[in-house]
Amino acid sequence: MSILVVGSVAFDSIKTPFGVADDVLGGSACYFSTSASFFTDVNLVAVIGDDFPQEHVDFLRSRNINLDGLQKSSGETFRWKGRYDYDLNEAHTLETHLNVFESFKPELPENYRDAEYVFLANIDPELQLEVLQQVKNPKLVACDTMNFWIEGKKEELIKTLAKVDILVINDAEVRQLADEPNIIKAAEIVRGFGPRILVVKRGEYGVLMFGEGSIFSAPAYPLEEVFDPTGAGDTFAGGFVGYLAATRNLDEHNLRKATVFGTVMASFTVEKFSLDRLREIEFSEISDRYKKIKLLTEFADID
Ligand code: AMP
Confidence band, pLDDT 50/70/90 cuts, at residue 1: confident
Residue 101 C-alpha to ligand 1 middle, in angstroms?
13
CATH superfamily name and code, 3-296: Ribokinase (3.40.1190.20)
Which protein residues are within 6 Å of ligand 1, measured from CB? 8, 10, 12, 26-28, 31, 80, 96, 122-123, 146, 148, 230-234
Over residues 238-244, the mean pLDDT reads 98
Confidence band, pLDDT 50/70/90 cuts, at residue 182: very high
Domain ranges of the chain: 3-296
152's CB contacts (< 8 A; 6+ apart) are none
Nearest CA-CA partner of 31 in 268, 248, 247: 268
Residue 296 C-alpha to ligand 1 middle, in angstroms?
30
Nearest ligand 1 atom to alpha carbon 80:
12
Give the pLDDT confidence of 270-289 residue by residue, as tens digits.
Answer: 999 999 999 999 999 999 99
Average pLDDT of the residues of the chain: 96
Q: What is the pTM of this model?
A: 0.96
Asked whether the predicted pLDDT for residue 16 surpasses 90, the reply is yes
Q: How much is the pLDDT for 90?
A: 87
Over residues 221-244, the mean pLDDT reads 96
Nearest ligand 1 atom to alpha carbon 122:
21
Asked whether the predicted pLDDT for residue 8 surpasses 90, the reply is yes
H/E segment holding residue 218: strand 214-218
Tell the residue nearest (CA) to atom 9 of ligand 1.
Answer: 27
Going by their DSSP bridges, the two strands 42-48 and 3-6 should be labelled as parallel
Q: How much is the pLDDT for 284?
A: 98
User: What amino acid is encoded at 53 in this protein?
Assistant: P
Cα→Cα distances 34→91, 194, 301, Å? 21, 28, 39
Nearest ligand 1 atom to alpha carbon 26:
10
Q: What are phi and psi of 18, to 5 degrees?
A: -110, -5
Tell the residue nearest (CA) to atom 1 of ligand 1.
Answer: 231
Nearest ligand 1 atom to alpha carbon 144:
3
* % residues pLDDT > 90 (the chain): 96
Q: Is the dihedral of CA 195, 117, 285, 19 positive or negative?
A: negative
